[in-house]
Copies of this chain bind each other. A is one copy, B any other.
Amino acid sequence: MDRSVTSSPGLSTGAAVLIALDWGTSSLRGFLMDGSARILAERSSAQGIQNLPQPGAAGFEAALTGLCGDWLDAHPTLPVVAGGMVGSAQGWVEAPYVATPADAAVLADRSAQVAMAAGRRVLIAPGVLHDPAGGIPDVMRGEEIQIAGALAEDASWACNACIAMPGTHSKWVRVADGRIASFSTYMTGELFAVLKTHSLLGRLMPAGVDAKPEDGEEAFAIGLRTAQSAGPGDLPHQLFATRTLGLTKRLPPEALAHYLSGLLIGHELRSGLTLLAEMPAGTPLLLIGDPGLCHRYTCGLAAFGITPTAQLGNTAPRGLFQFAASAGVLPPPSANSSSIKSTP
């Protein structure tokens, strides 16, 4: 089976208390965790919910036992929890969206569960719906777990925080009183990919050739500046410059994708930073996501005069631990399970 196995022996001192699954559309990640929320071992496979070995519930069970069967056998009483698209309407069992405000306790209270053939239960976290009066609804599924993990990293963040999660569908999240109070999704990553691959804008971009670093940075900066100058409704016009900057030889063909990236990230930042501006002064801004993408966002934020308070890596395991703790399936905390701050 196609899986990668990583152990972290240097951190692995406690006894296993939890099997945690981050189960998305395109991948399944398993974590064996101790009572201090430390990762004893982790594994991943490409068997996301759209790529199961067989259809239906049997496919989910086969993917899980294929990746973590030895953990399940070695620890027959350990709780198993899961978050992500596994709880969607196309998942193992649907855990319907819970409304904002939401925290790990709400997720636990509204979790769904499914029983494996051998009777082993899997507790599945719901997604979150934000449906403001007079506005348009928004949803997340998977990010709520990452947020729960991030807030567990530093108690001060739980009071008030603005969390930006760059990605295919970026999220900007307002945290108040330890709960997800509101959020907005931005289709930034998908727009970039779809426009590059399927629109006229990709025609001038050479496949497989990237810009010289200085050309890429300059093009990205032009995209950012263009976004900063935008009035409402200007994006569909400014997108077209991805073509005209090439036609007029203002940018080399291999730098055009960087303009598009800077433009789209700049628009997301314009809108997302209004959320931050509405929050109390001094509210921390946390970045969660792929390090390379977070670097681009950090560069973009700098153009707006903003420095993120912290950049976090994968906070999903810690979030799944919080979810399990809130659900009451973990043993009482040990003496050394206090907050572990992963960023200075």
**A137 touching B241, Cβ below 8 Å:** yes
A221-239 interface bits toward B, Cβ cutoff 8 Å, 1 = contact, 0 = none: 0000011001111111111
**What is the CB-to-nearest-CB distance from A201 to chain B, in angstroms, rounded to a whole number?**
8
**A240 touching B199, Cβ below 8 Å:** no
**B185 touching A248, Cβ below 8 Å:** no
- The complex is assembled from copies of this chain, and their number is 2
A188-199 interface bits toward B, Cβ cutoff 8 Å, 1 = contact, 0 = none: 101100110111
- From A195, A237, A266, A274, name the one whose CB has the most chain B CB atoms within 10 angstroms: A237
A250 at the B interface (CB under 8 A) = yes
Q: Which residues of B sit under 8 angstroms from A169, Cβ to Cβ?
A: 200, 240
Q: Which residues of B sit under 8 angstroms from A245, Cβ to Cβ?
A: 136-137
Q: Which residues of B sit under 8 angstroms from A138, Cβ to Cβ?
A: 237, 240-241, 244
Q: How extensive is the interface on chain A, given as a class? A: 35 or more
A160 at the B interface (CB under 8 A) = no
A122 at the B interface (CB under 8 A) = no
Q: Which residues of B sit under 8 angstroms from A32, Cβ to Cβ?
A: none
**B269 touching A233, Cβ below 8 Å:** yes
Q: Which residues of B sit under 8 angstroms from A241, Cβ to Cβ?
A: 136-138
5 inter-chain pairs at a CB distance below 8 angstroms, sorted by A residue, are A136-B244, A230-B233, A232-B271, A233-B235, A236-B267
Q: Which residues of B sit under 8 angstroms from A190, Cβ to Cβ?
A: 199-200
